[in-house]
Structure 1
Amino acid sequence: MAQYFEVHPDNPQPRLLKQAAALLADGGILAVPTDSSYALVCQLDDKAAADRLRRIRQVDEKHHLTLLCRDLSELSSYAHVDNRQYRLLKLATPGPYTFILDATKEVPRRLSHPQRKTIGLRVPTRSTTLMLLELHGAPLLSTTLIPPGESEPLNDPEEIREHFEKLIDGIVDSGACPLQPTTVLDLTPMGTGGAAVVLREGAGSLAALGL
C-alpha cells in the first residue's frame, strides 16, 4: 500500500519529502508531480526498480526512460555536452523540455538507446520535485504516469491513488499538474555541426530558444 505525502506546491515540507526520498533509497517507486504531468520515478542505479517501473507502465525495454536532474551541471555529468549544446540548455533549464543527448559512461548501458547510446534528460521547475531530487542526491529515472491501455497521463493525485496505490510505494501530492507534455529536442546533431531536431512540440516554447 502506497504511502501518501500531501505537500504544499510552492513550499513543500522537507520532513515529508525526506520520508519519500527514503522510500526511493530503499528501491521504491513513487508518483511525483512535474511541470508537465505526474511521473513514476525510481533511483537510477536500481535495475530491479527500473524493471518494476516498466512492468507497472506495461512498456518494454524499447521504451526509454528519462533522467530527472537537479540542474544543468548534473545533467552534464550524464550526457556529453559541447559549447553549442550548453548554450541552448542554459536557455531552456529548468523548464518543460526533454533533451536527447549522447550518454556518458555514468548512464548504465541498459538505460541508453541500444543503437545510438543516447539518453533523455530534463530539469523540471516544480519545487516539490526539485526538493525531492536534492534530498535524494542523484537523478531519478522517470516515465510519464500513463495507465496501461490509456493515452493520457493522470493529473489528479486521488485518481493516481485509486489506480496505483497497491502497485507503487508512495504518492507525492502537491496538487494538479499541467497536462501538456514536454517539448522534446534531439540535440545530438548539434555535436557534428547540425541543428537541434524537434521530436515533439509541447509545453516548452521553441521561440524562447530561437528555434
Structure 2
Amino acid sequence: MKIFIARAADVLLGGGVVTCPTEGVYGLSCMPDDPLAVMRLLALKRRDPSKGLILIAADPAQLDDWVDWQHAELPAPDPSFPVTWIVKAAEQVSPLVRGEHAGIAVRIVTNPVARALCEAVDSPLVSTSANLAGERTARNRFVLRRKFGGCVDYLVPGDCGPASGPSEIRDLRTGDVLRRKSP
C-alpha cells in the first residue's frame, strides 16, 4: 500500500490528477492549490466551475489555509455516513475551488487510502466523484478504469468504504441539508 500512496503523492505534487477510493465512491483528486490541475479535473469531469468542489483532509488542521474557522468546528466523521460540510471559506480560496460561493465544501475523510494520501502530500485534496457530470458514480475499479483509465495520471488502488454513494452535504452554519445521502 505504501508504494501506491508514494506514487500517487508524487503524481499529485507534480500537478497530476488521480482517482482515489473514498468512503462511498471513487473520486477524482488533485492538489487544490494547483490551478492547472483543478482546471484539468473540472474538464475531465465536465463539471461547471461555478458549482465548486469538495476538499477532503486527514484532519481539520490540513484545512487551516482554506477555512475561516471562526465559530466553526466540524463534527467527528462517521465512516458509514460521510458528511461534507459547507463552511466559510478563507479569503484567499480560489473560485476554482469554491465556485461562486462564499463557503467551501470540506470533509474529514475516513477511508484509509484517501486519508493516507492526504497525509502523504500534507494537504487537503480536491475530491469529486469519478463520473461525468450528471452520470452515475463509479463504485468499482472496472468501471473506473473504463471511464477514466486513459485520462488520469494514476488510479490509486484500494476499495471504497462502507457508505453507499456520495456523501451528504450539509451547511455547518444553518444545518440545512443541501444533498441527501443516497440510500
- TM (norm. structure 1) is 0.77
In the alignment, structure 1 segments of 5+ residues that lack a partner are 1-12, 205-211
Displacement of 1:111 in angstroms is 2.2
Displacement of 1:76 in angstroms is 4.2
- TM (norm. structure 2) is 0.88
- CA distance in 2: counterparts of 1:113 and 1:80, whole angstroms: 16
Residue 52 of structure 2: aligned partner: 64
Letter in 1 for 2:94: P
Displacement of 1:50 in angstroms is 0.8
1:112 to 98, 108, 111: 98
- CA distance in 1: counterparts of 2:82 and 2:19, whole angstroms: 18
**Greater radius of gyration (CA):** 1
1:166 to 144, 150, 158: 150
Give the direction of change, closer, same or farther, for the CA distance of 1:21–1:82 in structure 2 (3 Å limit). Answer: same
Give the direction of change, closer, same or farther, for the CA distance of 1:78–1:154 in structure 2 (3 Å limit). Answer: same
Considering fraction of residues, name the structure with more helix: 1
Mapping of residues 46-65 of structure 1, within 5 Å: 46-65=34-53
In the alignment, structure 2 segments of 5+ residues that lack a partner are none
Residue 198 of structure 1: aligned partner: 177
Displacement of 1:173 in angstroms is 2.0
CA RMSD of the aligned region, Å? 2.2
Mapping of residues 144-163 of structure 1, within 5 Å: 144-148=129-133, 150=135, 152-163=136-147
Residue 9 of structure 1: aligned partner: none
- CA distance in 2: counterparts of 1:76 and 1:90, whole angstroms: 16
1:91 is paired with a residue of what secondary structure? Answer: coil
Mapping of residues 1-211 of structure 1, within 5 Å: 13-83=1-71, 85-86=72-73, 89-92=74-77, 96-114=82-100, 116-148=101-133, 150=135, 152-177=136-161, 178-187=163-172, 190=173, 195-202=174-181
Residue 10 of structure 1: aligned partner: none
Give the direction of change, closer, same or farther, for the CA distance of 1:106–1:127 in structure 2 (3 Å limit). Answer: farther
Count of residue pairs the alignment pairs up:
181
